[in-house]
Amino acid sequence: MRIPQILRFVFLFGLVGGFCAAAEMPGLKVGDRAPEFTLASGTGSEISLADLRKNGPVILVFVRSADWCPHCRRQLQGLEADRAELEAHGAQLVALSYDSAATQAQAVAKLGLTYPLLADPGSKTIDAYGIRNHEARGKGLGVPHPAIFVVDRTGVIRAKLMEESYRDRPSSEAIQAALTNLK
């Protein structure tokens, strides 16, 4: 087993179990209240976390950019391929980045996404979750550290999944494990 896989295991299960093995990871923690938001989607509609939560837990995926980040595009397409398995847990999948709604619309079409891709062009939601990458410069100014939060119906963060490198992303299996622990 590679070391990064071990770290992912410790991070996921440590947080879900209540033991914070990765306190140095940026952003909100498991048990924190998820900040509410209403953002424009790539299809033009406004989507709020409160409305999403009415239908069950929410898998909230923060990506750097659906436009220029190849790791993000690969992750978004992988989540699309695994969407039915993730939603079988009663959860809803939604992703967001700092890209504009117009850019998100292009990404939705190009990548064939059927789940909402939300626009946070001012990075206010990214900031509210505490995951802005303050080291990013140039076109990356405002991007988040890639992260996945699982938010329950009551608005509490029940899992947080992150990798050490922006090139690596949590697996769908890790997300499913987090969802299984909600029950």
Residue 45 is encoded by which pair of tokens?
A: 């509609």
Predicted pLDDT of residue 164: 85
H or E stretch including 119? Answer: strand 117-119
Where in the sequence is the domain holding 168, given as residue range(s)? 3-180
What's the number of domains the chain is made of?
A: 1
- The pLDDT profile of the chain, 183 residues, written as one tens digit per residue, is 344 443 444 344 444 433 334 447 899 999 999 999 999 998 889 999 999 999 999 999 999 999 999 999 999 999 999 999 999 999 999 999 999 999 999 999 999 999 999 999 999 999 999 999 999 999 999 999 999 999 999 999 999 999 888 889 998 899 999 999 886
Residue 46: give its domain's CATH number. Answer: 3.40.30.10
